[in-house]
Amino acid sequence: MNRNPLSNSDKSADLLKMALLDEDEQDRYLICDSLASGGMGMIYRAYDSHTERYVAYKVIHPELQKNKAIFERFTYESEVAARLEHPNIMPVYDAGHDSDGRPFYTMKLLKGQTLAKFIQKLKDNQSSSSFENMIEILIKVCDAISCAHEQDIIHRDLKPDNIMIGDFGEVLVLDWGLAKIPNKKDTAIDSLSPSTPSEFSQMGAVIGTPAYMAPEQAQGKEVDPRADIYSLGALLQTMLTFDPPINGDNTEEILSRVSSGQIQSPNTNDLLPESLGEKNQRIPRSALAVIKKATQPESVS
Ligand SMILES: Nc1ncnc2c1ncn2[C@@H]1O[C@H](COP(=O)(O)OP(=O)(O)OP(=O)(O)O)[C@@H](O)[C@H]1O
Ligand SMILES: [Mg+2]
């Protein structure tokens, strides 16, 4: 006997199943401890009861949940991160909304440290590395960004805090919260892209440091993949000198220096920090040339 697929009893069974599933989904993650609190969200170590493993769980800050632009951005972030499958991009496992309606997503929980911390330890002479190792790390970041650019995605927020180095030497790019996505009307990001220092300082808590931001981006202009290439050059400079190309006491100062192109490039007599090599070893000219080409404003001919 054929059963009517839309019979009332079936519909109720489906509703019940959905309700149970929702409840199950909401109980799926057990938040354990806080890993970091960033501009847009908080990152926790959480236990995934379905797969019985620990994951990194990123959820929007409760006070930002009502901000439409940030809410939308946060949702984009998990979409972009999930779309980008690459050995040097942090893998996303799951995304959804918690019982308070806050968007969240889960990722591989990486045991390691951020590139920012890695550099800080070298700077404080608490660890050592080599020029070659720094280049290997940068190449992996370039590979990740190249994968994104092939899909017309621009990261727009490459900095040492958004790159992680795992205990097995893995290099993973994360935080696609400011990424520019093709065919997506960018209203959300437009309202997050400040064009004046005062707007920037209002949004600064969300956007973070502009020390690695390309001048055209800091000026609020439309950006293309060259903005990421600038940031990669700025990253290389920091990895080889332990200082970013632009410093300043506060966001406004850095922003005004970035916007007017006051970039401090290393020169041919500069030495590699001792924690990266032999005593009195110069920064190789090839690396200086890469930094210069990536960070220098285009010459007007
Ligand atoms: N998958 C992960 N595994 C382990 N730690 C992580 C993971 N993802 C993020 N973190 C930690 O959380 C920090 C913040 O993550 P993320 O950059 O994604 O958040 P954010 O809110 O955008 O922060 P910000 O605005 O400061 O850049 C990272 O710098 C890292 O220390
Ligand atoms: Mg970040």
- pTM attached to this predicted model: 0.87
As a CATH number, domain 112-300 is 1.10.510.10
Determine if ligand 1 sits within 6 Å of the CB of residue 140. Answer: no
Q: In the CATH hierarchy, which top-level class contains the domain 8-108?
A: alpha beta
Determine if ligand 1 sits within 6 Å of the CB of residue 38. Answer: yes
Q: Please check whether the two domains, 8-108 and 112-300, share a CATH topology.
A: no
Question: Contact, 254 vs 243, CB < 8 A?
Answer: no
**Ligand nearest 58 Cα, by number?**
1
**Ligand nearest 45 Cα, by number?**
1
Strand partners, 96: 104
**C-alpha–C-alpha distance, residues 65 and 251, integer Å:** 24
Determine if ligand 1 sits within 6 Å of the CB of residue 40. Answer: yes
Reply yes or no on whether 228 is catalytic: no
Q: Which residues of 208-229 are buried (b: 16+ CB within 10 A; e: fewer)?
A: bbbbbbbbbbbbeeebebebbb
**Of 157, 161, 175, 228, which is the active-site residue?**
157
H-only helix segments in 151-284: 187-190, 197-207, 215-218, 226-241, 251-259
Residues whose beta carbons lie less than 5 angstroms from ion ligand 2:
38, 162, 175
Angstrom distances, CA of residue 144 to CA of 44, 154, 171, 174: 24, 11, 9, 10
pLDDT confidence of residue 185: 58
**C-alpha–C-alpha distance, residues 145 and 173, integer Å:** 8
Angstrom distances, CA of residue 50 to CA of 20, 35, 168, 174, 294: 14, 21, 26, 24, 45
Determine if ligand 1 sits within 6 Å of the CB of residue 158. Answer: no
Determine if ligand 1 sits within 6 Å of the CB of residue 161. Answer: yes
| Sequential DSSP letters for 52-82 | TEEEEEEEE-GGGTT-HHHHHHHHHHHHHHH
Q: Whose CA is nearest to atom 25 of ligand 1?
A: 39
Q: How far is the CA of 57 from the centre of ligand 2 (A)?
A: 14
pLDDT confidence of residue 23: 56
Give the chain's residues under pLDDT 50: 1-6, 187-188, 191, 199-202, 300-301
Q: How far is the CA of 48 from the centre of ligand 2 (A)?
A: 23
Q: What is the pLDDT of residues 267-301, one digit of tens each?
A: 999 999 999 987 889 999 999 999 999 998 765 44
Domain ranges of the chain: 8-108, 112-300
pLDDT confidence of residue 301: 40
**C-alpha–C-alpha distance, residues 52 and 28, integer Å:** 10
Which has the closest alpha carbon to 183: 253, 60, 270, 79?
A: 79
Which residue of 65, 175, 176 sits with most ligand 1 atoms within 8 Å of its CB, as the best mutation to test the pocket?
175
Contacts of 142 (CB under 8 A, 6+ apart): 232
